[in-house]
Structure 1
């Protein structure tokens, strides 16, 4: 398993990261623990979670359940040192968490403590803000995104306030590094500027959606990642399962994500299915599994820190693990590039 440095920290993470957002709704604790065991056996050292998990659906009754499941695994196996653990602080508008309060110095300490308690650990390796207070163009909001109502002074004051609280956590030893999620190039560079000016942990990574079907990151964020040493942690690299091909021709497998979220968070469009057909044909042409091809392609991107994938069955997990040693040749990359030009941003 290849390892990548997490920004300018001294933390090395595996090229693939085990996602956990279904643990507690679609997966039992026992199934989650089996996934962790198998992923670690395969060389993965990185697990990503969030205080609001599990999803499908998010509810007040299940908030924190995924972290508790991971905590039970730590308690059972006593292997905390074998895992780089990432979790996230929910942002403004999530009514089921702190009544939708925005991220601030008033929420950070209590939220860190809550995660530590559920995770049964003394420290979090990577503590991420799930989305920015000012809003985000992620999750299909890019089509109508309008930042004109943002106030620069409010944003700057918030960043200074939050970084001060995060630095207190670093001093306490409760977090090792700080990351962003669902952020923009401008937002990330502002966080970096504020950290340089007033102190606080420097942004180590950014976790945004990225796949063959969702390549917003390829433009300004890619340049920022490389020059500022803020690697991408790619979530939904299989486009919520679309790139596996399991939803083609109207199929909705039982217990699949589409059976729980009919539009796959806005990803289900006619153009998406047409694009998936093109990528499935490339996989057939080159004798590749489409899931493994999609994951292996993410490895080729120069800004990639780690690729976060999730599975609801061990069979799915085994397929995904098959991408660890898969290297795509130039002919495959050329065909993928051509398909992307024909089917850019299909949702």
Structure 2
């Protein structure tokens, strides 16, 4: 396992990060702990979660994922390793109708809400500090989660970025968080967060967690430059395109998968050319004696702007294959064939 520096921070994170959004919905606490134990044994030191997990989010299960991780962290042999682990979690933004999470769903990133959210996460995680605290999605109106067009008529109340950063600065000063990141952000957002921090002497964001995979390479269009110039590392989520790039949907829709269990989360993968593109990528994998999963994960890991690739699994078999993909290196011939498919089917699932 290789380790990379996250942005301008001192954090050295494993090139594969363990995602946990199924814990508490599709995975039991015993299964979650088995995954965590195995991942750490393979050299993964980076664990990502969120206050609203598991998905799909609802009032009955909200926070359960952090609780499962917290019970794991509280075990004596794991607690002794806490300083070697990098724990990342997230606070929700505005506009997703999750008023059941906190009373004030408007201006989600107000000082009051941030302070409550971090204390709640620390309690569930049974830890004194969060290594990377991330804004799950912007507090302002932006296209995200499959939307591609900015709509001015959707403007809403938001907390100024300077005010958000000022509150996070308090949390860094008190030791509750070490570093700040964003998620589902735009090029404008990266620039504005970075410039505001510089101008006001406030904490700089060190990471961005956005979707990036073979059928969604939109991150390359503007965000790569912004992240390069501002030294912000990408934590690539959904590297398997919600499971599509594993090849399991090429011949139909198997039962007991996230797409079949929670169809509302798969809308971007019902778009034109998704199936055609995934079939061609699967064919490339077969040609070079790789599994579609190995090809997809190795591609994401190979990008110069990716600091860590966030994997998620519901079974140990999936987890082992995902982690083993770190041993796969794609040669120039394979990468050229991937780019040929990308040119024919340009970002079918943005």
TM range (shorter): over 0.9
Per-residue deviation at 1:266?
A: 2.6
Cα displacement (A) at 1:81 = 2.0
Q: What CA distance in whole angstroms lies between the structure 2 residues aligned with 1:268 and 1:30?
A: 34
Query: TM-score normalised to the size of structure 2?
Result: 0.94
Residues 1:97 and 2:96 are matched in the alignment: no
Query: Equivalents in 2 of 1:317, 1:135: separation in Å?
Result: 35
SS at match of 2:180: strand
Cα distance in 2 between the residues matched to 1:149 and 1:68: 35
Q: CA deviation at 1:199?
A: 2.4
Please tell me whether the aligned partners of residues 104 and 158 of structure 1 are also in contact (alpha carbons under 8 angstroms). no
Matched residue, 1:48: 48
C-alpha distance in structure 2 between counterparts of 1:66 and 1:283, whole Å: 33
Aligned-pair CA distance for 1:32 = 0.6
Q: Structure 1: 5+ residue runs without aligned partners?
A: none
Q: What SS does structure 1 have at the residue aligned with 2:310? A: strand
Matches within 5 A, 1:311-322: 311-322=313-324
* Other-structure match for 2:113: 107
Point out the more displaced range, 123-132 or 222-231.
222-231
Contact 1:7 1:231 (C-alpha < 8 Å) held by counterparts = yes
Aligned residues, how many? 341
**Which structure has the highest helix share of the two?**
1
Verify the 8 A CA contact 1:53 1:67 in the aligned structure 2.
Answer: yes
Alignment of 1:111-150 (within 5 A): 111-142=117-148, 144-147=149-152, 150=155
How far did 1:251 drift?
A: 2.4
- Contact residue 190 and residue 227 of structure 2 kept, 8 A: no
Give 2:286's match in structure 1, choosing from 284, 287, 304. 284
Segments of structure 2 that go 5 or more residues without pairing to the other structure are none
Task: Name segments (4+ residues, structure 1) moved above 3 Å.
Answer: 147-151
Question: What is the CA–CA distance in structure 1 between the aligned matches of 2:99 and 2:217, rounded to whole Å?
Answer: 29
CA deviations 1:90-136 (Å, max 9, x no partner) are 11132332142321212111110000000000000000000111122
Which residue matches 1:31? 31
Q: CA deviation at 1:82?
A: 2.7
1:173 aligns with 2:175: yes
In structure 2, the partner of 1:247 is 249
RMSD of Structure 2 on Structure 1 (CA): 1.5
Take 2:282 and 2:324, find their aligned partners in 1: how far apart are those partners? 17
In structure 1, the residue matched to 2:263 is: 262
1:73 corresponds in structure 2 to 72
Give the C-alpha shift of residue 149 in structure 1: 6.0
Shift of 1:150: 4.8
1:298 pairs with 2:300: yes
Report the secondary structure of 1:47's partner residue: strand
| Contact 1:164/1:199 (<8 A) preserved | no
CA contact (8 A) 1:90 1:97 kept: no
Q: For 2:38 and 2:204, how far apart are their aligned partners in 1? A: 33
Provide the secondary structure at the position in 2 that maps to 1:248. Answer: coil
TM-score normalised to structure 1 length: 0.95
Counterpart CA distance in 1 for 2:190 and 2:99 is 25
Q: How does 1:155-166 map to 2 (within 5 A)?
A: 158-166=160-168
